[in-house]
Structure 1
Amino acid sequence: MSCLFGVKEKMSEEQTVSLIDILEEDEELEEEASAVLAGSDSDHCSYPQGYVKRQALYACNSCRPKGGEAAGVCLACSYKCHEGHDLFELYTKRNFRCDCGNKKFTELKCKLNPVKEEVNALNKYSHNFSGLYCTCSRPYPDPDDQVEDEMIQCVVCEDWLHGRHLGRVVPDCVELQEMICESCMNKNPFLWTYAAHLSVSGAAVQVKEERDAEESNTNLSTKDEKGADVIEPSCKRSREEAAPSCRLKELRAIGQQRSQSGAVFWPSGWRSKLCSCSTCKDDLSGADLSFLLDESDTVLAYENKGKTNEQRQPGHDPLMSALDNLNHVQQLEIIHGYNDMKTELKDFLQRFAEEGKVVTPDDIRQFFEQQSRKRRRDDAGCF
């Protein structure tokens, strides 16, 4: 999932999908859900935690009065307080406090944490909270858009933009990179200096200046010689002189330029190469960009945390909830039966997956008829 909102897929009725495709897609969806949702608490409102560093958020279109103020609710409140409502899934946002039940909701009271301040003054809102995205301000999915396109989140404004509206060609392996949209780059011009030295090779030049792409084909992960010469000497001098230098000033002095248009893509670890001198820290704080110095702020870090939490604290199985109302003997009988059927179904489907065949309704019907006959034989043997 990383920084991708999704790719709309359109398949004709004549197309078929093999079971192996279905199994792989199902596994990917489970991993994405674990990455995004497991990083947030599904049982307790996040409001007592204050402005959470990053969490999954939703905007309720059912509870928002027409023309009312934007509001966001946490994962738990989307389940407990807004079940069955028309919700806009916002993916994740940083430094946000749950609004559920505050004065922005005229009738709704939060079931999980009813005592809340009237407003959360530090929350930031965008047109995403109205179900609109990108510079084109369209909904997602867009019923009127017939173009297959991916949506990518800007790490600064956290809006989602269509790949075709970024003003540049989307690079390969975009899942491992962060993007800052052109609007946010222009609002913070110093970022263009960093972009000339640290951004993914070909940023924007593939669209407007192909000749410059050959000259500035840098790759941070492999650290070409020019990039190393830019950064390493400043570190050595700072150690020798025991006085911190400003990396941003050094990069400006070099004078390397790039086209200041289009979105900018940044490789993994680029934040650690930003200057952290006291002046730059103050400037970042003044621009409300201090989070750029925090590598744990990234969506990738949040997703990895979610996957780890999911592995440590797996969700409660609905089957086990149902078993709580049965006696011990009944529980054992159902568990054994369930495990046997699950194993047999997995083996049955695996044959189709290995051969790349499509499972038909007749195949599924045949499997359960066999299970039914087997169960009748077992019951007859017991009696």
Structure 2
Amino acid sequence: MSETLTEYLASQEELLQEAALALPHEFSKCTYSLGFIRQAVYLCLTCPEARGLCSACSIACHTDHDQIELFPKRNFRCDCPTTSIDHACALHKTLEEANTSNVYGQNFQAKFCRCGRPYDAKTESETMIQCLACEDWFHESCCNLRERPSSREGSPEPNPDRAAPVEGNIDDGSSEGSSGLPPALIPGSRYESFICGACVSNNATLVRWAGTPGIMMVTRDSITEPWRCLEDGTPAEPVDVDRLDDVEGLSIGTKRPLSPSDLDAPDAKRSRFSSPTFMPATKPHQCLAPRLNPTAQKIFAQLDSPADSSLGTGDLFLSEDFRRRWCRCALCLPPLEASQYLLEDEETYEPPEDPDLGLSLEELGMRALERIPRDKAIDGIMAFNGMRDDLVKYLRPFAEEGKVVCETDVREFFASLTEATKGRKHCS
């Protein structure tokens, strides 16, 4: 197959534009000096130390190494210029002490999800979603959002009664993708954030709000029943926090004790809201938390027993704008304040934009010449001019005879240049 010079130049321009879109940032400075920030972190599989790299070091210092992108991690400082990695940092020249405040979970062993399965982008067909709290990544089927694909038959499962793990990308919203899988039980378009059951169990307010409007869960009535979305639509009513202890059995935000009929009623019989209608309390003594969802509380009670978690994993799927809907009373707020990302959207560091973004190959070449010593720049220009003259001489017969220049012709030309260079070195 032949290609004209015009087509070749057009293809090179297209590749240049694709590269600019893929790497639009400048990667010339390690983020170590910025301290502990939320940033994209990479794990180098070639280096023996299980430590994290910033975006710049993953490109500038570990270019030829095998790496896994772990995506954003909060309160993380780049390990590349520290004593914890033997491979020298090319950007931060001062050798620093090891970062003692970094947290290295199972992701730094290239393991993900509650199933602990290694991630392989070449073989995975499912979507993975990141937990807002622990920032680990979870397969959709590990969250009971879909059945296990046939390619995952050999994966380990924490519980044989629960659907198995699966994988993908949080950005594609768990919708049907190129893999041909059907939509997930809760499509990504219905929720803004995901929190895994283990993290939910450690936060009293999250447990309290589980299964209420906008705080969806996945459950089933028994191990023989299909999985379904749990979201109680009971509206909230203001409750005086100071009087909660006066009512037997009343907990945070509960208006009244639930009757037996309320506890036994199927969730489908209770009204549901397409979007939550309650507003956060503005007074510390007034609680606006919805009443407890009995099914959700039963799931968490079951999770306390390692012998049985067949009704669900306790994961939460939080709908859009969930942060502004929390109750801010004296009981609901403290557990939320302990995890500020539940109250405020976090800023994730991004490297500065590449100043060379959008420049042509010729402009990039001129920029490169400006950055090297004058004598080396002159030698480079002279070498380029010599190669250009040789190429014109080589191509002239093709133009005179109307022949098409093929890839083999170009390879032959550069092979002759290589031989000529070797000959000159031998003579010297």
- State the match for 1:315 in structure 2: 357
Against the structure 1 CA distance between its residues 76 and 196, is the aligned structure 2 distance closer, same or farther, given a 3 Å change threshold?
A: same
Distance 1:33 1:178 in 2: 26
Displacement of 1:296 in angstroms is: 3.6
Against the structure 1 CA distance between its residues 316 and 48, is the aligned structure 2 distance closer, same or farther, given a 3 Å change threshold?
A: farther
The question of 1:71 aligning with 2:51 is answered yes
Whether contact under 8 Å (1:152, 1:161) holds in the other structure is yes
Name stretches of at least 5 consecutive residues in structure 2 with no aligned partner.
1-13, 147-183, 221-225, 231-265, 300-311, 371-376, 382-403, 407-428
Counting only pairs closer than 5 Å after superposition, residues 91-170 of structure 1 correspond to structure 2 as 91-105=71-85, 107-115=86-94, 117-141=96-120, 148-169=125-146, 170=184
Displacement of 1:31 in angstroms is: 12
Against the structure 1 CA distance between its residues 256 and 136, is the aligned structure 2 distance closer, same or farther, given a 3 Å change threshold?
A: closer
- State the match for 1:191 in structure 2: 206
* Structure 1 stretch displaced more, 180-189 or 193-202: 193-202
- Cα distance per residue 1:82-137 (max 9 Å; x no partner): 110121211221221111131211x2222212335422222122111121111222
Q: Of 286, 289, 293, which residue of structure 1 is paired with 2:343?
A: 293
Whether contact under 8 Å (2:32, 2:81) holds in the other structure is no
Whether contact under 8 Å (1:182, 1:264) holds in the other structure is yes
Bigger proportion of residues as helix: 1
Distance 1:136 1:32 in 2: 37
Q: Of 206, 214, 217, which residue of structure 1 is paired with 2:272?
A: 217
Identity of aligned residues (%): 28
Whether contact under 8 Å (2:111, 2:118) holds in the other structure is yes
Give the 3-state SS of the residue equivalent to 2:113 in structure 1: coil
Name stretches of at least 5 consecutive residues in structure 1 with no aligned partner.
1-25, 331-366, 370-383
- State the match for 1:42 in structure 2: 27
Distance 1:215 1:368 in 2: 74
Against the structure 1 CA distance between its residues 198 and 30, is the aligned structure 2 distance closer, same or farther, given a 3 Å change threshold?
A: farther
The RMSD of aligned alpha carbons is 3.9
The question of 1:266 aligning with 2:281 is answered no
Against the structure 1 CA distance between its residues 142 and 321, is the aligned structure 2 distance closer, same or farther, given a 3 Å change threshold?
A: closer
TM-score (normalised: structure 2): 0.52
Distance 2:114 2:292 in 1: 31
The question of 1:255 aligning with 2:295 is answered no
Distance 1:161 1:282 in 2: 27
Give the 3-state SS of the residue equivalent to 1:57 in structure 2: strand
Distance 2:272 2:217 in 1: 6
Displacement of 1:183 in angstroms is: 1.9
Alignment-mate amino acid for residue 43 of structure 1: S
Higher RCO structure (Cα 8 Å, ≥6 apart):
1
Whether contact under 8 Å (1:276, 1:293) holds in the other structure is no
Displacement of 1:265 in angstroms is: 1.0
Alignment-mate amino acid for residue 265 of structure 1: F
- Deviating above 6 A after TM superposition, structure 1's stretches of 4 or more consecutive aligned residues are 29-34
Alignment-mate amino acid for residue 100 of structure 2: A
Distance 1:103 1:122 in 2: 14
- State the match for 1:58 in structure 2: 42
Distance 1:32 1:216 in 2: 50
Displacement of 1:283 in angstroms is: 3.0
Counting only pairs closer than 5 Å after superposition, residues 235-250 of structure 1 correspond to structure 2 as 235=281, 238=282, 243-245=283-285, 247=287, 250=288
TM-score (normalised: structure 1): 0.58
